[in-house]
Amino acid sequence: MTRLTVGGSPRSRADFLAVEEPLEIRVAGRPLAVTMRTPGHDVELAAGFLVSEGVIHAAEHFAAAIHCSAEGEENTYNVLDVALGQGVAPPDPSLERSFYTTSSCGLCGKASIEAVHTASRFTVDADDCSVDAEMLTGFPDALREQQAVFERTGGLHAAGLFDARTGEALVVREDVGRHNAVDKVVGWALMQGRLPAHGTVLMVSGRASFELTQKALMAGIPVLAAVSAPSSLAAELATESGLTLVGFLRGDSMVVYSRADRIRGGDPNPEPVSDPVSAPQLTQHDAAAPRPVEKAVAS
């Protein structure tokens, strides 16, 4: 690579890049999905993906997985065939990667939220988990310290599962896709027999999207924390499901969008926050404009 600085001399040297390759996930030999991922922990990725899609929810449902290739062809380790446990129904062929989970699924927000509630085997609303606010502010650094590949490339997302009581990092995984990093974490929890993951915090290195919120709920994780912002649909899903959603977790501060009662040690008398600035009224000319890209949420 060549590093350029305005007004300076070009400098050329070798550099490290995060690997991105496709992984085709098959179930009993039938292709189910293809995701772009960073190779490594592929079995956990496939297991977590199947949990997120509502196909399995217990360790015994995931019998085995093997990297495979066509007869006579070199094994590129980019195809993983999963064998489900005895009696576990295979995914409906009509649902092959047209599930509700992707942000581009085309479903309205309410339909998407109802789909998650219908598919999830676990509930988090009654989870009595609580986490110390000061301890929680240390999770981003703890996550960062275990990002070995990010340290060399600067190009990976990370997700970690933390014990809400002790603050212990139970598992940390990296990937070019934030959803893949979460699937690897969920897959680890499934294979360790830790689902539903009561009393834990899912920490992610980027923003909190609807899809990541859904994955937390499908795994029975009661708290999702992100260093960046959540989307409006993520906040709605968290609120309706009783999941604690934390955004902008940086330094000694955070923004809690739902179930703030699970966060201990914050200011018991916070200053009131003024209402968001109202959007300008639409004129007749603006009536056919695209849907707004931002949405106010109640404090």
Residues forming the active site = 105
Tokens 């539903």, residue located: 196
φ, ψ for residue 143, nearest 5 deg? -65, -45
Q: Identify the CA nearest to 232 among candidates 216, 249, 247.
A: 247
Q: What is the distance, to the nearest Å, from the Cα of residue 250 to the centroid of all Cα atoms in its chain?
A: 18
Q: Distances from the Cα of 151 to the Cαs of 39, 155, 158, in angstroms?
A: 17, 9, 12
Find the distance separating the first CA and the last CA of the chain, reported in whole Å.
47
Task: Determine the Cα–Cα distance for residues 190 and 188; give it in Å rounded to an integer.
Answer: 5
Tokens read off for 7:
């007004």
Tokens read off for 101:
């989970």
Element at 109 (helix H, strand E): helix 109-119
Question: Quick one: DSSP state of residue 11?
Answer: E
Q: Is the dihedral of CA 42, 46, 52, 56 positive or negative?
A: negative
Q: Identify the CA nearest to 128 among candidates 4, 13, 261.
A: 261
Number of CB atoms found within 10 A of residue 84's CB: 19
